[in-house]
Structures are given as C-alpha cells and as structure tokens.
Amino acid sequence: MFNRILVPTDLSEHAACAVRYSLRLAQRLSGARITFFFANHRPIPTSTPIRLYHELKADMLQQDLDALEKHVRKVLLQVQLAYDPDRMKLHVENGAYLDSLEKVLEVYKPDLVVMGNRGASGIKKYLIGSNTVKTLGLVECPVLAVPEGCTPTPAPHVLYATDLKQWQPEVEQVMALTNLLNARLTVVHLHRPDPAGEKGPASGEALTRQLREALAYYPAEIALLPVSEGQDLAEGLQRLASEKKPALLVMFNRRKGWLESLFSDSHTQAILYDARLPVLAFKE
C-alpha cells in the first residue's frame, strides 16, 4: 500500500517523532523504502566566483547530509534498529522547504509523506501557518501528520471519519490500512441531523443499521456524529477522538457540496493545526 515513504525533517527533537513513527510503520510494511529529507536555505552571495561557489555549495550539502545522518541514526538507536541502506535513503537540498519539496516529489514519487506537526495558533496560523498543512496542499499522496510524543501501538485503534458519499473507494483504502496494521476500526459517520431533530435512539439505530448494510465489512464500532451547518468540525472530531481514544484518525479531502466540504482542505487544516493524535489525510 505504502511502498515509498518520504519523511521531511528539520532535525529537531519534535521532528524526530515523525522519524520514529515512520520507522515503526515501515516495519509493518514489507518492502517499504524511506527517504529522509532535509532542506536548509543558506544563500551564497552571487558575487562569489563560480568555482568557489560550487565548492561552498558542495561543502554545505555535505554538512547538511552529515547532520541528517546523525539525526536519523540517533532515532534508529532509540528504537533499536540498524540503518538499512537498501530501504533507507538520505536526501538534502540547499533551498527553501516548499521549493525543495517539489523537486524531491518529482524524484522519489512517494505514496506517503510522514512528518511532524507543530501546529499553529492565533496570529501565527495566518502569518506562517504550518509546514505540514502546506505540504498537504502541495502533494497528491496521503500525508500522515504526527504530533509530538506519538508512537505507533502494536494493535492500534483507527478512527475513520466519513460522510459516506464516496465510501466504496475510501473503504478499500481504509481496510487495506487496518489490515496492514492489524487495527481495530471505528467508523464515524458525519451526517446532517434529521430536520425534525433526532429524538430518541430509534433514528440513530436505524441509521446505524443502514450503515452496516451498506458496508461490505464489519467494523468494530460505528459512531454517529450529526453535523449542522456552521458547526466546528475540528472541535467535534477532537471531542470524539478524546472519547474513543484512537491511535490514528483517517480522513479524505474533497470539495463538493456543503456536507462534503467538511472534508475540504480548510477543515482538514483546522484539525491538523490542533491535532493531538496522528492524522492520515488522503486526497480524493
């Protein structure tokens, strides 16, 4: 499912969480290859003689490569794994992160990006945003955002949030993931409340029954989350995640009608800004 994993890192302790997570994840994915990527923008004056320019650039890249290798080997030591050159690769670029990322995506064509998520709040959210959120908008493959302190669990609990408008192709990917992870699955169905108001358990039970009949598999649990127009989806999902305590939240992005727009970039970004658990965001 995920054979080419790209792990951007800024060499910080926070980013080490994503490196650690990707290594544990790759252990479960037979044959998966990981590329650890570091971009460092250090401009060289344009007045520098051409020969000296190339020498300086080569020196900078080597310094960054050494720093990246030290960072990765430190995490490998923590998780008691050895560096495997057949499955692991180091890549550095001298340039701004997003510009460098575009080049790296062309070269490695990853089918999953794993990166740490610092989030952002207040005015920072609007001025600088989050590299994780910006990456989500740039790549075509899924992005797994890992907040600080998270590690994969041996038998994780996956929470899959969906409006079921396009559940068939989504479910195939989610089930492939849960099978790989040997995970327990909870499906959270986000839906419009009954115009007359959902009174009592009967309507919820009927919806759950219809949902089980529609799905070609049997999840461990189905949870219903009615969402009214104007409601804060991120807050509702965070509250539900606190209750269900999953190890991973899975969502799909798309832009269509009102309810489907709940899964648009803006709402997923809102969740990533304040995520307290790993979030795997698929593109439609």
Note the pLDDT tens digit of each residue in 60-99. 999 999 999 999 999 999 999 999 999 999 999 999 999 9
- 187 and 121 in a single domain? The answer is no
- 135 and 253 in a single domain? The answer is no
If pLDDT is split at 50, 70 and 90, which confidence band does 227 have?
Answer: low
- 66 and 12 in a single domain? The answer is yes
Q: 143-146 and 88-93 as β-strands: parallel, antiparallel, unpaired?
A: unpaired
**Which residues are 241's β-sheet partners?**
none
- 142 and 189 in a single domain? The answer is no
- 15 and 96 in a single domain? The answer is yes
- 34 and 163 in a single domain? The answer is no
pLDDT of the residue at 229: 63
Domain stop point among 113, 146, 179: 146
- 116 and 206 in a single domain? The answer is no
Q: Which of 127-136, 186-195, 275-284 has the lowest mean pLDDT?
A: 127-136
Domain that holds residue 139: 4-146
- 193 and 91 in a single domain? The answer is no
pTM of the model: 0.81
CATH number for the domain that contains residue 17: 3.40.50.620
Q: Is residue 152 assigned to a domain? A: no
Q: Is residue 151 assigned to a domain? A: no
- 268 and 169 in a single domain? The answer is yes
- 268 and 199 in a single domain? The answer is yes
Q: Which residue has the higher pLDDT, 253 or 145?
A: 145
pLDDT of the residue at 209: 74
What is d(CA 132, CA 94) in angstroms, rounded to the nearest whole number? 19
- 82 and 119 in a single domain? The answer is yes
If pLDDT is split at 50, 70 and 90, which confidence band does 120 have?
Answer: very low
Our count of domains for the chain comes to: 2
